[in-house]
Amino acid sequence: MAPGKPDTEVAPGRNERRKARTRSALLAAGQRLFGEHGFDATTVAEIAQGADVAIGSFYNYFDTKDELLAALLQETLAEQLRRMQARRAGIEDPAEAISVAHRHFVRVAWDEPEWARLLVRLDVPYRVTDEVLGAPAMRDLRAGITAGRFHVANPRLALRASGGALIAVMHAILLGELGRHADSEHAEGVLRSFGLDPAQAAEIAHRPMPDAIGPEARAT
């Protein structure tokens, strides 16, 4: 860059990075506070304080607390979906794919209790979970039905029931009521509710859990 020329190329990039850091700090503070105190009891001022920014800065990124929550859920659910799908890379059996999916989210309650508490405590809006998780889950279920693995009279009802059971199991883990085998036991119950033979459901649900990265990443 020539002497005396304004730093017009560097400044915008630096400014965008600063904005991204502030937004991430607000989302992280919201996640922590919502999980600890609940959505209604948390104020914008507390979120701003938790992110170490002025209250006015909050409104540069979100119009309301509800908007922050929607963004938080959308982004974190999408990330959890990505991680879960990485675990299932290469799995062709729809029954095992569903088992791994449910076991992944149960394990989140142990490994990421703050996020799991947010999911459970807020009774996450169905619209958000359906947009991010619902469509892939329904594809898995219908694939199992088409393959003759599952026998379900009402797929949408079955999906809602299994999702409700998942949230209940995560809640019980956060309360310290269930042990480390809960992921397999829950997955076995889900597979049986979808009509899979009990012996097959038990065998599939208790297989070793795949790593959280896909085979392509492990090969590099």
Token pair for 58: 């909050």
- Render pLDDT for 111-134 as a digit per residue (tens, 0 to 9): 988 888 877 766 554 555 666 678
90 and 130 fall within a common domain:
yes
Q: At which of 30, 45, 63 does a domain end?
A: 63
Do 59 and 77 have their domain in common? no
Q: What percent of the chain has pLDDT over 90?
A: 59
The domain tally of the chain equals 2
Q: What is the domain-level CATH number for residue 145?
A: 1.10.357.10
- The yes-or-no verdict on residue 79 having pLDDT over 90 is no
Residue 87 lies in a domain: yes
In this structure, the answer to whether residues 159 and 120 fall within a common structural domain is yes
Residue 5 lies in a domain: no
The span from the CA of 28 to the CA of 72, in Å, is 8
* Size (the chain), residues: 220
Are 200 and 159 within one domain?
Answer: yes
Structural domain boundaries enclosing 103: 72-209
Say if residues 150 and 95 touch (Cβ distance below 8 Å).
Answer: yes
Q: Is residue 3, in this structure, part of any structural domain at all?
A: no
C-beta of residue 197 within 8 angstroms of C-beta of residue 215: no
Phi, psi angle pair for 163, to nearest 5°: -65, -40
Q: What is the CATH number of the domain that holds 51?
A: 1.10.10.60
- The model's pLDDT over 147-161, given as tens digits with 9 standing for 90+, comes to 999 999 999 999 989
Asked if 100 and 161 count as a contact pair (C-beta separation under 8 A), the reply is no
How many Å is the maximal CA-CA distance in the chain? Answer: 76
Quick one: which of 50, 53, 43, 46 has its CA closest to 29?
A: 50
pLDDT of residue 218: 36
Residue 217 belongs to some domain of the structure: no
Q: What is the pLDDT of residue 217?
A: 41
- The pLDDT value recorded for residue 130 is 64
Q: Do 156 and 191 belong to one domain?
A: yes
pLDDT digits (tens, 9 = 90+) for 204-216: 999 999 987 643 4
In a domain, 145, yes or no: yes
Residue 71 near residue 26 (C-beta atoms within 8 A): no
